[in-house]
Structure 1
Amino acid sequence: MYDGAFGDRLGRSFQLNNPPVLRSQTRRGVRLAVTELRIDQVGYGMTSPMGSDDAYLVCLNLRKQSTHELWCDGRSVCSTSYEGGTTYVLDLRRDPIAYIGDPLHSLYFYMPRQAIVEARDELGTKSTVDLAIQPGDCLRDSIVNSIGQTLLPIFDKAAAANQALVDHLLQGLCAYMASTYGGSSTRPDIVRGALAPWQQRLTTQMMRERIFEGISINELAEACGLSAGALARGFKKSTGLSPHQWLLSRRVDLALDLMTDPDISLAEIAFNAGFSDQSHFSRVFMQRMGVAPGAWRKSLANNKRVEAA
């Protein structure tokens, strides 16, 4: 079951096992968390998908990255460097993945939009509940940095003894982000010929619900009030992928989660992720990740042995 992009779930996206995590929740019971991730190697490469979720990751970079590229919705949105002490935001509705070139040390604050809604209700504001920060924009925010630096020592202590402080800081950060950066959606302006935002959300949701059996272009088009051709062209313009390619990419996301279990064979993974057979799975996986499934799984096992040593 998908449990949010924090802790072990987020760690798997970076091929890290059981990273330190601190958890809290809002007064209405919405989950908040912050995960500390460290990668000491140079040229780490691509992360795995972080999971599609109606939430943000607020990332505090504790170490400089001279090479960093971000993809959202299957297309590159920025290629830049960033300094230590800066912050950027990932919208998990956009399936972000990243290329990491330098050793990394960052804190990733998991912040569902429900929590931002709650914070804005408590603040008595009426504006929208998106964070108005474009993908790839790096901010030097002293409040985010101070909260992160205060939390850092707690990862090495008994979290339960400091839970009240963790609650205060994570809930306070959520309220701060809502009041300071709340505004229009982080999504870019609609590209001419692309789907409207509601059409893109509807089609991707329908495909997620039919990830195993698939869904026809005609069904997607009818739901959006478009012809099949207009739907296909608009979807490609919006995401950089055809609907079929997008669906295959989500099946690879599911397979990546399943591959962390060493007791499941690749043939079983292919079947459970919705591929017609292992050969089809291997071809699609190679196109998406650049390596064969067996090589990817071997790298996961090697990383776990290194961590355990």
Structure 2
Amino acid sequence: MTELRIDKTSYGMTSPMGSDDAYLVCLNFRMQTAHELWCDGRSVCSMAYEAGTTYLLDLRRDPFAYIGDPLHSLYFYMPRRAIGEVSEDLGGSSVGDIALQPGECIEDSIIMSIGQALLPILRNPSTFHQPLVDHLLQGLCAYLASNFGGPSTASSMVKGTLAPWQQRLVTQMMRERLFEGISVAELAEACGLSAGALVRGFKKSTGVPPHQWLLSRRVDLALELMADPDASLADVAFDAGFSDQSHFSRVFTQKMGVTPGLWRKSLAFGRKVEAA
């Protein structure tokens, strides 16, 4: 488990969380009015959530998020294997998944109570009691298995989509070559596919072709760079990997609905309001 606090606004995009056969159970102590979740390279949830709610991140789906407001959350790492084992110990069939949709928030007094019991233990090392922590975490795992467990969907794949490992590999390669770009042929070779099959499979998996996915990640980077009021839009365009400011402006406006200049003015206005 990990406690995370972010006290500033407009933190931006989180780093990729890696790939694992596990969940992160996210218990939120502060409300978020500006929050968006991506899984498998596509936006799956864009909504506010209240303080006291819980949602899940499926680490098999390469999740990352945009955080707009100050954040205070407690994250529990739950391997799917552990959830299945505890469900069998309780006398039920082996549970494969937690039956919550990506970004779906629930208010649950049991999860909140376990989190509140763990917070003072985390904050005061002198009171840390490993058997108590283990007991509380095992109880949370059993509670999730009993109340939110569902059948495994790991083996279900939509025909024509990329395999999970292929999608993870392609998105990782594009992130690593965000500035200079990468050819479809290179991505296809890494996946053992033809260029056409790679493009079709990626679009069916994520909803967009590889080039559009890459442009969206460049816009994400540009949003972070634009938080610096001293950075010119020309510098932002270059540092985010766009060919020139005109190209940056076209892509940004298409994806965000406003020009980069208007977006920056809204950031400046927000800073003035906070200062007042």
Please say whether Structure 1 and Structure 2 have the same fold, judged by a TM-score greater than 0.5. Answer: yes
Q: Quick one: which amino acid aligns to residue 270 of structure 1?
A: A
Matched, 1:208 2:175: yes
The equivalent of 2:105 in structure 1 is 138
Q: Is the 8 A contact 1:70 1:96 kept in 2?
A: yes
Contact 1:73–1:96 under 8 Å retained in 2: no
In structure 2, runs of 5+ residues without a counterpart are 87-93
| 1:295 and 2:262 correspond | yes
1:61 and 1:188, CA in 2 relative to 1: closer, same or farther beyond 3 A? farther
User: How big is the shift at 1:199?
Assistant: 0.2
Q: Deviations over 1:110-131 (max 9, x none)?
A: 56xxx657xx7xx99xx99997
User: What is the distance in 2 between the residues matched to 1:181 and 1:250?
Assistant: 34
Match of 1:238 in 2: 205
- Is 1:265 equivalent to 2:235 in the alignment? no
Question: Pairwise CA RMSD of aligned residues?
Answer: 4.7
Normalised TM-score (structure 2): 0.69
Contact 1:195 1:235 in 2 (8 A): yes
Residue 136 of structure 1 and its aligned partner are, at CA, apart by: 3.2
Following superposition, the deviation at residue 223 of structure 1 comes to: 0.8
Whether 2:1 is the aligned partner of 1:34: answer: no
Match of 1:58 among 11, 21, 26: 26
In the superposition, relative to structure 1, how do residues 241 and 59 fare at CA in structure 2: closer, same or farther (>3 Å)? farther
What is the distance in 2 between the residues matched to 1:284 and 1:134?
30
Q: What one-letter code is carried by the residue in structure 1 that aligns with 2:73?
A: Y
Shift of 1:141: 3.0
Q: Deviations over 1:78-123 (max 9, x none)?
A: 688977643112457234459x9xxx99743356xxx657xx7xx9
| 8 A Cα contact 2:24 2:57, kept in partner | yes
Q: Quote the offset at 1:49 in angstroms.
A: 3.8
CA deviation string 1:199-246 (max 9, x = no partner) = 000111111111111111111111111111100000000111100001
Conserved 8 A contact 1:255-1:269: yes
AA at the equivalent of 1:220: L
**Identity rate of aligned residues, in percent?**
56
2:244 paired with 1:277: yes
| CA spacing shift, 1:150–1:190, aligned 2, 3 Å | same
8 Å Cα contact 1:270-1:276 kept in structure 2: yes
Q: Size of the alignment, in residue pairs?
A: 255
Q: Which amino acid in the other structure matches residue 295 of structure 1?
A: L
**What are the equivalent positions in structure 2 for 1:1-309 lying under 5 Å apart?**
32-35=2-5, 49-54=13-18, 56=24, 58-60=26-28, 72-73=39-40, 75=42, 77=44, 85-91=52-58, 93-96=62-65, 107-110=72-75, 133-147=100-114, 162-164=123-125, 181=144, 189-309=156-276
User: Alpha carbons of 1:222 and 1:295: their partners in 2 closer, same or farther (altered >3 Å)?
Assistant: same
2: CA distance, partners of 1:188 / 1:253: 32
- Runs of 5+ in structure 1 lacking a partner? 1-25, 27-31, 40-45, 155-159
How far, CA to CA, are the matches of 2:240 and 2:258 in structure 1? 18
TM-score, structure 1 length as denominator? 0.62
Other-structure match for 2:89: none
CA contact 1:132–1:181 (8 Å) conserved in 2: no
